[in-house]
Amino acid sequence: MSAPLSDTRGHATDLTDPPNREWKAEIELGFEVNEGRTRLLRRRQYGPLVVQRPFYPEKDGTCHVYLLHPPAGIVGGDKLHYRFDVGEGARCVLTTPGATKFYRSAVQDGLQRNEITVAAGGVCEYLPQETILFDGARARIDTRVTLADGATFAGWDFICLGRPAADERFTTGTLSQRIEIVRNNETIWFERFQLSGDSPLLQARYAIAGRPVFGTMIYVSDLHEETADRIRESLNEKSSYVFSVSQLQHLVVCRYLGEQAEEGKNLFSRAWDVLRSNTQNKPACPPRIWAT
């Protein structure tokens, strides 16, 4: 899904974009329980990152917030920094109204950094829509999640390599992803992934196998031992995509490899429903913007 807001820099695909087109932007959001519901009580922003007015589609007062980046795309030299602080007992769902796009760049990386902190009893579900890497993009995505004992975190991402519908493949450029999750002062998950447009991994059957979309979902909470089995049972169907789920003590990781981000989002949403039911005693509540 494309972002509904126009890119103020046009398509920004010129390999020689001048430095004065760089965006530096930061947004910090703080969520706290107030009068029986989670409220966005702190907001600090710099540059072109904004949020819409919070929604409350769930009976327990969970706060749904849409994150907007009006330029609608990231080029080399851009730096976007998201900080989310979820207080004790607070609950929030964070998403984006459309895809994040990394346009091609000659030398500099475009950077998106996410820092998420969740206090005891808090729940943060960070579920953005897909990230599209245009051919020649240089993308770097760093995420660090810090959880208190008893906190819950859900997060996913989908990477779309090129634009197959426009007959554009990801043949040049780079992707660097890093995620670290710390729970109760202990690192429970660390993953680093690097890919270039000329990498043999793009076609290798043991890796990406020519598929244009891959995704990862991570859920951290106090889990039942059979949680992963319940997800597998809910997705027990024959199909052309590749889906896997694994479980550690406080962690479930789902992987998707296929042709369409929408297909992957549907699968992860079903897994999210199982995970929510098992840890929060309520079903998933997909943001309304996903249906538009």
- Over pLDDT 90: what percentage of the chain? 84
Strand partners, 218: 155, 253
Strand partners, 163: 168
Mean pLDDT of 135-140: 97
Reported as a single tens digit per residue, the pLDDT across 173-212 is: 999 999 999 999 999 999 999 999 999 999 999 999 999 9
Is the pLDDT reported for residue 124 higher than 80? Answer: yes
Q: Provide the mean pLDDT of the chain.
A: 91
Neighbours of 127 (CB within 10 A): 21
Is the pLDDT reported for residue 146 higher than 60? Answer: yes
Q: How far is CA 217 from CA 59, 61, 69, 136, 190, in A?
A: 25, 24, 23, 26, 14
pTM score of the predicted model: 0.91
Reported as a single tens digit per residue, the pLDDT across 49-65 is: 999 999 999 999 999 99
Hey, where are the domains in the chain?
19-291
Residue 71's pLDDT band, with cuts at 50, 70 and 90, is confident
Nearest to 67 by CA among 86, 80, 79, 77: 80
Q: What is the pLDDT of residue 167?
A: 86
Of 53-67, 124-138, 227-241, where does mean pLDDT reach its minimum?
Answer: 227-241
What six digits make up the tokens of 93? 């769902």
DSSP 219-284: EESS--TTHHHHHHHHT----SSEEEEEE-SSEEEEEEEES-HHHHHHHHHHHHHHHHHHHTSS--
Residue 21's pLDDT band, with cuts at 50, 70 and 90, is low
Is the pLDDT reported for residue 232 higher than 90? Answer: yes
Q: What is the pLDDT of residue 1?
A: 35
Is the pLDDT reported for residue 106 higher than 90? Answer: no
**Contact partners, residue 188, CB within 8 Å, separation at least 6:** 181, 182, 220, 248, 249, 250, 251
Residue 14's pLDDT band, with cuts at 50, 70 and 90, is very low
* Amino acid (1-letter code) at residue 291: A
